[in-house]
Amino acid sequence: MKYSQTFIPTLREVPGDAVIASHRLMFRSGMIRKLSNGLFAYLPLGLRSFRKVENIIREEMDAIGSLEVKPTVLIPGELWKESGRWDSMGEALLRVKNRLGADFVVSPTAEEAFTSLVRNELSSYRQLPLLLYQINTKYRDEIRPRYGVMRSREFVMKDAYSFHADDLSLDEHYQAQGRAYRRIFRRCGLTVIPVKADSGAMGGSGSEEFMVESEIGDNTLLLCKSCDYAANVEKAECKLDYSPRFSEELARGAANHTPPLEKIDTPELKTIEELCGFLKTEAENFIKTLIYRAVHVELDLSGAPGYREPAKHRPATGIPEIQEEAFFAVAIRGDLDVNEAKLAAVLKASEVSLAADTDVIRITGAPVGFAGPVGLNTVPVLLDETVTGMNDAVTGALEKDKHYRHAAYGRDFTGWLTADVRTVKAGDRCPICGGELYEKKGNELGHIFKLGYKYTKSMGVSYLDENGKTGFPTMGCYGIGLDRTLASIIEEHHDEKGIIWPVPVAPYHVSIIPIKYQGAVKDACDTLVTELERAGLEVLLDDRDERAGVKFNDADLMGIPWRIVAGDKNLAADTPRVEVKRRSEKEPRLMTLRGAMAEITEAVQRELAAGRE
């Protein structure tokens, strides 16, 4: 391809809103242009790399037996009303009407579309497992699109959906998707960190996210220094660490020696820091108690002390009754924080948030700041595991300006449920090996997820099993964002001059730069193009009438892995030569045309094949 015949508008200027390297470089190298906030057009150079990522993903999906289909981007609103997500998805869902007034959504993801497709076709267990995928446009009305195509409103996702007769089959395909993801990211030249992820409220039983480390990542990851444990903070667990004082005392059976519970005056002292100062003690000797409101709780609450039944509604088919709204008290050691994602998972709730002040007053009978588990019987009390190790604690006394001290678990209070709901932090101990955990910021590129029966039951997908009985398939879903993957490759592979593409995703393999495209130089360049293209390589010939320096800068910016420079002087020598340089190398080498072509062809073919085996 001749540069003069393509459309690669490179820029020296950086757009003002481009704060990360990939955004700046995609813009400057002429890969993308912005149409509007969160909407980007791919220009020819950008699209070439985009298609390579797409094809790698397609090859790996095909290799695990997933079958490509192409549903529409516009999905009937009815399907989203059936699944309940018409309402629950909120403002990110773009809803539109057609000329007849019928509702549609612009697909932000496609569980409903695939479930509906399968519902109409599935009749027998013999059709299972059914493994389908698409590579298609998604739209999410993100509040704050940013970082270029990393978080845009319109983007392309590979989303696969699988339907199975049993958990074993689901697990097999889930594992196969996980292995395919590892190959996909390796072939794209990406270092990904697979982490355990929150599998959400509804029925999910396994979930893994594929993260890249990133300054701008909006996920916190916890990794173990000693083993390969890695988890999203939303899911991360740690070894239980009773505060040293209590664990030692407990070990000696000290609970019996704790002085009796005592109510004390704590005028105007509300925060744990203020109380610590007043009582000359540490936060870890407090029991912090928070009142939470949870929506759509699926956990069975009948019999939970203090639980009052709220309004209910019965969803379409099969899934358990859903409680609309419920309140809980959550008690945790004073130096720790409650992790709302873990809490939501324990309660099987679609959403949890701190209760409003008026609810706190109603529930605790005191202003905010005096809640505690002792004597609290208006809502179910959930204890973080750490609290069961506390036998001499300070906690709110459900009265303004009053606290208890010497509160002991088992003696002065218990809870309805004990669970791990703490936010794990750097320095905590690995749940697997006890090693030290540390934190990284990560950006999610892909996600694999066991959905279970959430959609198949709520949308009534069934089949007849080998005994002629009706069964619901269990389901998995598996997504990768192509645009974000592409941008992440640039984040990992660039320098101050531009992109340094890994060969499998480079827009071209070789850039040929004639100092002046005429005479013997032109002949040599044309030969190189013809021969390299014949060997299957993709070549960009910079035939523009520009200064060599301009062409060099553009080649560096575009990040094409190999550069050949042809000039009169080197070609006129006894043995005609050209300058050859890898984008990642500092200095060019003089090589004969044959030598250059042989070395480059061999290297490109080797690197294209790597990861395929």
Q: Which residues in 339-368 are b (16+ Cβ under 10 Å) and which e?
A: bbbbbbbbbbbbebeebeeeebeebbebeb
Token pair of 151 as six digits: 């978080």
Taking contact as CB under 6 A, which single stretch among the options 260-268, 337-345, 476-484, 592-600 is the one that binds ligand ATP? 476-484
195 bridge partner residues: 209
Q: Minimal distance in Å, beta carbon 92 to ligand ATP?
A: 8
Token pair of 258 as six digits: 């704790």
Taking contact as CB under 6 A, which single stretch among the options 93-101, 261-269, 285-293, 438-446 is the one that binds ligand ATP? 438-446
Residue nearest to ligand ATP (CB): 481
Q: Is 158 a binder of ligand ATP (CB under 6 A)?
A: no
Contact at 8 Å (CB) between 249 and 214?
no
Q: Is 479 a binder of ligand ATP (CB under 6 A)?
A: yes
Tell me how far apart the alpha carbons of residues 201 and 364 are, in angstroms, rounded to a whole number.
Answer: 27
Taking contact as CB under 6 A, which single stretch among the options 385-393, 440-448, 460-468, 514-522 is the one that binds ligand ATP? 440-448
What amino acid is encoded at 494 in this protein?
H
Question: Which of 112, 392, 444, 543 forms a contact with ligand ATP (CB under 6 A)?
Answer: 444
Candidates 291, 268, 256, 271; CA nearest to 394 is 271
Q: Is 85 a binder of ligand ATP (CB under 6 A)?
A: no
> Using DSSP, how many helices (H) and how many strands (E) does the chain show?
16, 32
Q: Over the Cα atoms of the chain, what is R_g?
A: 30
User: 329 or 487: whose CB is closer to ligand ATP?
Assistant: 487
User: 192 or 332: whose CB is closer to ligand ATP?
Assistant: 192
Rounded to 5 degrees, φ, ψ at 289 are -125, 125
Q: Is 142 a binder of ligand ATP (CB under 6 A)?
A: yes
Size of the site for ligand ATP (CB under 6 A): 15
Q: Is 52 a binder of ligand ATP (CB under 6 A)?
A: no
134 bridge partner residues: 159
Taking contact as CB under 6 A, which single stretch among the options 179-187, 442-450, 494-502, 534-542 is the one that binds ligand ATP? 442-450
Q: Is 296 a binder of ligand ATP (CB under 6 A)?
A: no
Q: Is 140 a binder of ligand ATP (CB under 6 A)?
A: yes
User: 110 or 604: whose CB is closer to ligand ATP?
Assistant: 110
Tell me how far apart the alpha carbons of residues 344 and 351 are, in angstroms, rounded to a whole number.
Answer: 6
Token pair of 285 as six digits: 């000797």
Q: Is 481 a binder of ligand ATP (CB under 6 A)?
A: yes
Q: Minimal distance in Å, beta carbon 251 to ligand ATP?
A: 43
Q: Quick one: which H or E segment has residue 75?
A: strand 74-76
User: Which x/- pattern over 396-435 shows residues binding ligand ATP (rule: CB under 6 A)?
Assistant: ----------------------------------------
Candidates 499, 458, 465; CA nearest to 201 is 458
What amino acid is encoded at 106 in this protein?
V
CA angle 275, 251, 376 (to 5 degrees): 45
Q: Is 342 a binder of ligand ATP (CB under 6 A)?
A: no
Question: Which of 109, 285, 339, 570 forms a contact with ligand ATP (CB under 6 A)?
Answer: 109
Q: Is 559 a binder of ligand ATP (CB under 6 A)?
A: no
Q: Minimal distance in Å, beta carbon 140 to ligand ATP?
A: 5
Tell me how far apart the alpha carbons of residues 248 and 225 are, in angstroms, rounded to a whole number.
Answer: 27
Residues that bind ligand ATP (CB under 6 A): 109, 140, 142, 151-152, 155, 157, 444-447, 479, 481, 483-484
